[in-house]
């Protein structure tokens, strides 16, 4: 999260000699970084927990209770969605700072 926000803010620095197109270049570049960091964050946060839950038996213990598989998967999806919401909110602050530096 910190790396993507700092990279978005850094994007505003080299575009001081873009002949008047700085805001457009910075906005497009920062939004591209935001997209890629969101995709990477989703993959990493979803990938890490599944093998650990299978090895430790947590997933099997939860599924042995009267919790349906659909509810279990929905809870996992909501966890990833909440993590991505926090990541994208911080990325949006970085985009706003970078666009403010461009003006």
Q: What is the pTM of this model?
A: 0.68
Q: Which pLDDT belongs to residue 87?
A: 86
pLDDT at 98 over 70: yes
Tell me: the pLDDT tens digits for 32-74?
Answer: 888 888 888 888 877 777 777 777 777 777 777 787 878 878 8
Q: Which pLDDT belongs to residue 16?
A: 60
Domain ranges of the chain: 2-102
How is the chain classified by DSSP, letter by letter? -HHHHHHHHHTTSGGGGSTT-HHHHHHHHHHHHHHHHHHHHHHHHHHHHHHHHHHHTHHHHHHHSS--HHHHHHHHHHHHHHHHHHHHHHHHHHHHHHHHHH-
Q: Give the residue, 77 or 99, on which the prediction is more confident.
A: 77
């Amino acid at each position: 999260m910190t790396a993507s926000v700092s990279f978005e803010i850094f994007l505003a620095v080299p575009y001081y000699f873009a002949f008047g197109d700085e805001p457009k270049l910075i906005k497009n570049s920062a939004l591209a970084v935001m997209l890629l960091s969101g995709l990477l964050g989703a993959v990493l946060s979803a990938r890490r927990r599944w093998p650990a839950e299978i090895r430790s038996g947590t997933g099997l213990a939860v599924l042995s209770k009267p919790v349906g598989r659909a509810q279990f998967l929905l809870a996992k999806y909501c966890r990833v969605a909440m993590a991505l919401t926090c990541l994208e909110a911080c990325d949006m602050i970085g985009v706003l700072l970078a666009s403010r530096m461009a003006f």
